[in-house]
Amino acid sequence: MSYTALYRKFRPDTFDEVKGQVPIVTTLRNQVKSSRLSHAYLFCGTRGTGKTTIARKMADIFKYLDILENGHLVEADRSMMVSPEMGQTAI
C-alpha cells in the first residue's frame, strides 16, 4: 500500500478550489485576464497558507500561455533569500 501525503491528495486543481486566499486569487486572475503579468512573484506566509499551491497554479497558467518553460519555477527556503523576513516560494 503506497502512502500519499495529504497536501498532494487534496491540493486544489484550479483557482476556484483554493480556499482562504480570495484577495490573492482575484489579483492574480485579474493580472492574467488583462495580460499584465509581472516578471516575478513572491509568496510569503506561514506554513499551510497556500503559497506553493498558488505558485504551482500560476506556473500552470504561464506554461499554458507559453511564457514559462520547464525548470523556471524556483522554490526557495529562507536560507536562500537575502532577508529572513522574505517568504518561501517564488516563481
Q: Could you report the per-residue pLDDT of 30-52, keeping only the tens digit for each?
A: 998 898 888 788 888 888 888 88
Amino acid found at 85: E
Dihedral of alpha carbons 51, 88, 74, 24, sign: positive
Q: What is the dihedral of CA 23, 27, 30, 36, to 10 degrees?
A: 180
| The predicted structure's pLDDT at residue 20 | 85
Q: Hey, is 90 helix, strand or coil?
A: strand
Q: What is the pLDDT of residue 30?
A: 92
Q: How confident is the model at residue 78 (pLDDT cuts 50, 70, 90)?
A: low
Distance (Å, whole) CA 7 – CA 13: 12
* Bridge partners of residue 42, in order along the sequence: 90
Tell me the pTM: 0.67
- pLDDT at residue 69, as a whole number: 67
Average pLDDT, the chain: 77
Q: How confident is the model at residue 82 (pLDDT cuts 50, 70, 90)?
A: low
Question: Which residue did the predictor score with more confidence, 43 or 69?
Answer: 43
